[in-house]
Structure 1
Amino acid sequence: MSPKAPLPPRRALDLSRRTIALLFLICFVLVAIPIVTHPIPPLSDYVNHLARMKVIAAVPGDPDLSRFYFLQWSVLPNLMMDMVVPLLDRFADIYVAGEIYTLMCFALIAFGTLYLHRALFGAWSAIPLVAFPLLYNNIFLIGVMNYIFGIGLCLCGLATWILLRDRPWPWRYAVSCLFVLALFFCHLFATGVYGVGILSYELMRLFDRKGGSWKTRIIAFVTAGFPFALTVPLLLMSPTWGLKGENYWEPRGKLDGIEFVINVYYDYVAFSLTAVVVLAAAWAVRHRLLRTHNMLFYLLVIAGAVYMALPRTVFATYMADQRMPVAIAFMVIACIQIDLRHRLAQRGFAIMLVLLVAVRVTEVQVVWNNLTQWTVAFQESITKIKRGSKVMVAYADPWGGSQPQDLGLVHAACLAIIERSSLVTTAFTVPGKQILRVHKPYTDWVDTEDGTPPNREQLLVTEEEPTPDGPRYWDLWPQHFDYVYLLFTEPGDPNPDSDRLELVYAGDRFQLYKVIKPPPAS
């Protein structure tokens, strides 16, 4: 009897590891272009955070900054950037350090999505690279850099938990405790997203009859939450606990939070990219090439319920609920697998991926290039400020900063902290949220509540008398400040108070005034 002929080797379901790594590198280089070419990206909170990094790195060596600011280190769920960027500043200037940190966030999120998919399906796949176009999203435009870093760490933590799930339990819980600890210092909300991921996976295991007896499964389900007990003493030790009563639930904006995942600047770009992905997924479903992990159902149910229940403001932090869908989106991507064994599918996916990333990067690059005109103008205006001055920020338009194109102006005045060692009223100095503090008597002249800066009318009213309904940090501003930045102006706007303000620089959307000091009282 003749021996049977050997069976032909079965073609892999996905691209090779080398090809996946090459695609990862190509996509990462593409998404890095806007960051590398714009040292001051037009993100809302970014410059404010970067100014704090400068103070951390410079105090007490800078006498002007030391006169205004000091650091009060404490247990805060908002410290990752504060610990990383000042270290990078030792080897590069603060702007390059910020770029490196931002690219670290991108790399960690992209790798975390790949890693989570590997943990769920047992093999590396190119499908999670679809996460790259989503790295630029509306939450990123807000500039919440600690939370962005936490998303990547959360994905890696969940993947590690899954890989250790059937290993001896001490390793699983010890590693999870380390991730909970690290995530807490990234951001409290990132810890919560990690908890949603663990709960979703463990709930799936609970109803899996192959996981042993009901008793064994219930014990494993309950004990999975033990590492999160670390957050209780940490939070009680933190000054953030003092903000526990500042919560506000708002039903409007829930749909906006979901749209923030795909939308950056132009609606038609977001919906076009989404349509391409949906059509590709429909094609894969039609040809029975797409499958999802069982965890996906539990993830969508639990994340949806938590999202609807989350307040808009938690611990005095705004957009608490709207930050969540972005992180969940990367988990959803990791739960999807598509059979790419055919060469046509492999080539089609690779082409589609690079095109998606290129379109998103082009959108961001074009908008940021257009916004460079005010970035350059703002940097030029900073040179007009005397070193060690006190700078007030006010709005010409009370609704300014609501459009994505205006976000970069919201905290641009904090460049005066970096470049001129100035006191700026809008620097983040909220107790329980940041480690930056202001010395007396300047404490009464800055915003310590993350409020909205005064408008033109409020400045005029409080020029010589305090605010009628209570003290405000801008009361009697001509006596306390050297310069005023008026943001969100229109070209040709007149001087709002020629008796107290002298125009120093006029940009496209802002004006810089020097304060004319009132004569001393007789």
Structure 2
Amino acid sequence: MAQMNTPLLPSATPSRVGPASAHGHAAPPERRPHDLRGRWIALLFIACLALVAVPVVTHPLPPLSDYVNHLARMHVIAELPHNPDIARFYYLKWSILPNLMMDMVVPVIDRLTDIYTAGEIYTLLCFALIAGGTLTLNRALFGMWSALPLVAFPLLYNGIFLIGVMNYYFGIGLALFALAFWVLLRDRPWPWRYLVSTLFVVVLFFCHLFAAGVYGVGLLAYELDRLRQGRGPLGPRLLGFAAAGLPFLPIVPMLLASPTWGLSTENIWEPQGKVDGIEMVVNVYFDYVAITLSAVVVGAAMWAARHRLLHVHSLMLPLLLVAGAVYLAMPRVVFASYMADQRLPVAIAFFVLAALRADLRHRLARRGFAVVLVLLLAVRVGEVQVVWNRLSQWTVAFSQSVSLIKPGSRVLVAYADINGGNDPRDLGLVHAACLAMIEKSSLVTTAFAVKGKQILRVHEPYRSHVDTEDGTPPQIEQLLVTEEEGTADGPRYWDVWPQNFDYVYLLFTERGAPNPDSDRLKPVFEGERFQLYQVIPPTAPPS
């Protein structure tokens, strides 16, 4: 069955992109090149990857929300066998979890370098996978290499990336490659197609359950497109359509055997925030930068359409319909994972780019595309670099505060402002206290140790003193009322905290804020938006 590469404008001639063959692959291009030559696309890819890497390379600890928490777990995995302080607090419980890719990759890299560099390498690997996957899927759909998917590079920094969901981000790149291989093998002998797709599904499961879902959305859209355009008896076509779901069957036994299944009832649907999820595709720190970049892309697309240079694969319509329906129906919390629905638009944006091709046979079009791409990426990288340079002030200050903590200490994290962390510029502080796990082998209450989500576990008697539900840290007012007795409506991990902790990090404070509890807290360090206190333990009663 043929797969058509349809031009954006009906009057565009099919020869612009090459007619589709009977096997669903585009015919070889004309002698006159329709796009940049392969070596120039490869060089431009390398140049863009080098440019997009600048903020990551120059900031070993990027101000991403969950990133340092994940990095601390990587450090525990690597250090556990020969670090007695770490071993006193933590242990690992390996199991079938849809959230393991970083746990398997980063500790291996850490054997060759330090943990911060290992994190940087992993982040850049995510970038390369997503950009390379977009490029490869475009090649599979159109039958020729195209430079247009390189527009994926300015989108690598987005609102979801700022959250630091690194396993899911790795999975987006693999999902793009998975669909690319399905397209390339669709009209080849079926065993290879199903074998390769099943392997991708299994690996995607261990990246993140949502990443496997992203591949499912892309595959469903592609098969709907084939079904819509197919010829011949409807029965065999429907059978082939239904059989495309077979590679996803291993997810069922793996999920049932996973402790993650215990979280299957923790789902919450929220109508608010759907628009925010779409905005996260282009908006990072400054609204005016997102608006400018969007306007440039739309303007360039309109110019290309006017000159009949922009072509859209027939996959685009079913992709947008399927992804839109899934996005509207998807809960905000799935398997106790927050922002489940808002993660989808960012991934789909790369699939959309893969379904577009520009005719760059004219020298003006080629030069114009290269200039616009580099400018877009330079603006995005400049935005991130400027903000990260500014936020690095708290990174340096936080590292200085951690250096004052005694090794093997127990650290409690609390909030001075319940709304802290909502501003993108505050995200880097949310889990910054986990630096004490890396630098001082400390117990930190906010470390990710949730059954069904991570492999990290806490030994008794410390387990009841840490957050095992991935909740919000207590406010300082809650600490004050539980200083000598437990919480009235049930036990909390911060109850009678002066007996159980050595230090308290108070986040989202104002500089010069007074000591909230001078009887139990001794000031140690004050930085921008945080304070570190040493706990004054209660005096033991006379015997």
- TM-score, normalised by the number of residues in structure 1: 0.98
1:128 is matched with which residue: 120, 140, 149? 149
1:272 corresponds to 2:319: no
Aligned ranges for residues 18-33 of structure 1 at < 5 Å? 18-33=39-54
Opposite residue 411 of structure 1, the aligned amino acid is H
1:137 corresponds to 2:188: no
Match of 1:489 in 2: 509
1:511 corresponds to 2:531: yes
1:399 corresponds to 2:419: yes
SS in 2 for 1:182: helix
Match of 1:331 in 2: 351
Aligned ranges for residues 43-62 of structure 1 at < 5 Å? 43-62=64-83
Deviation string, structure 1 residues 81-101 (Cα, Å, up to 9, x no partner) = 000000001000000000000
1:408 is matched with which residue: 428, 431, 441? 428
Question: How far off its partner does 1:33 sit?
Answer: 0.3
Match of 1:81 in 2: 102
Question: How far off its partner does 1:215 sit?
Answer: 2.0
Match of 2:212 in 1: 191
Opposite residue 415 of structure 2, the aligned amino acid is Y
Opposite residue 284 of structure 1, the aligned amino acid is A
1:151 corresponds to 2:175: no
Opposite residue 35 of structure 1, the aligned amino acid is V
Match of 1:309 in 2: 329
SS in 2 for 1:317: coil
Opposite residue 514 of structure 1, the aligned amino acid is Q
Distance in 2 between the 1:338 and 1:507 partners? 50
SS in 1 for 2:53: helix
Match of 2:236 in 1: 216
SS in 2 for 1:170: helix
1:293 is matched with which residue: 300, 304, 313? 313
Aligned pairs, how many?
513
Match of 1:471 in 2: 491
Identity, % of aligned pairs? 71
1:344 corresponds to 2:364: yes
Distance in 1 between the 2:474 and 2:523 partners? 19
Match of 1:226 in 2: 246
SS in 1 for 2:81: coil
Deviation string, structure 1 residues 143-193 (Cα, Å, up to 9, x no partner) = 000000000000000000000000000000000000000000000000001
SS in 2 for 1:323: helix
RMSD: 0.7
Aligned ranges for residues 373-388 of structure 1 at < 5 Å? 373-388=393-408
Question: How far off its partner does 1:139 sit?
Answer: 0.2
Distance in 2 between the 1:213 and 1:146 partners? 42
Question: How far off its partner does 1:288 sit?
Answer: 1.2
1:429 corresponds to 2:410: no
Distance in 1 between the 2:302 and 2:235 partners? 41
Distance in 1 between the 2:309 and 2:125 partners? 33
Opposite residue 286 of structure 2, the aligned amino acid is Y
1:451 corresponds to 2:475: no
Question: How far off its partner does 1:209 sit?
Answer: 2.8
1:173 corresponds to 2:194: yes
Distance in 2 between the 1:10 and 1:219 partners? 39
Opposite residue 190 of structure 2, the aligned amino acid is W
Structure 1 alignment gaps of length 5 or more? 1-8
2:375 is matched with which residue: 338, 348, 355? 355
1:94 is matched with which residue: 95, 106, 115? 115
Question: How far off its partner does 1:10 sit?
Answer: 4.1
1:42 is matched with which residue: 63, 86, 93? 63
Distance in 1 between the 2:236 and 2:355 partners? 26
Match of 2:14 in 1: none
Deviation string, structure 1 residues 372-427 (Cα, Å, up to 9, x no partner) = 11000000000000000000000010110000000000000000000000000000
Of 287-296 and 299-308, the range deviating more from structure 2 = 287-296
Structure 2 alignment gaps of length 5 or more? 1-29
SS in 2 for 1:514: strand
Question: How far off its partner does 1:455 sit?
Answer: 0.6
SS in 1 for 2:484: coil
Match of 1:4 in 2: none
SS in 1 for 2:522: strand
Opposite residue 258 of structure 2, the aligned amino acid is S
Question: How far off its partner does 1:287 sit?
Answer: 1.1
Question: How far off its partner does 1:134 sit?
Answer: 0.2
Question: How far off its partner does 1:58 sit?
Answer: 0.5
SS in 2 for 1:222: helix
Distance in 2 between the 1:11 and 1:161 partners? 29
Distance in 2 between the 1:42 and 1:207 partners? 46
Opposite residue 234 of structure 1, the aligned amino acid is M
SS in 2 for 1:513: strand
Match of 2:13 in 1: none
Distance in 2 between the 1:152 and 1:351 partners? 26
Opposite residue 49 of structure 1, the aligned amino acid is H
Deviation string, structure 1 residues 253-273 (Cα, Å, up to 9, x no partner) = 000000000000000001100
Deviation string, structure 1 residues 455-482 (Cα, Å, up to 9, x no partner) = 1100100001111111000000000000
Question: How far off its partner does 1:216 sit?
Answer: 2.0
Opposite residue 518 of structure 2, the aligned amino acid is S
- TM-score, normalised by the number of residues in structure 2: 0.94
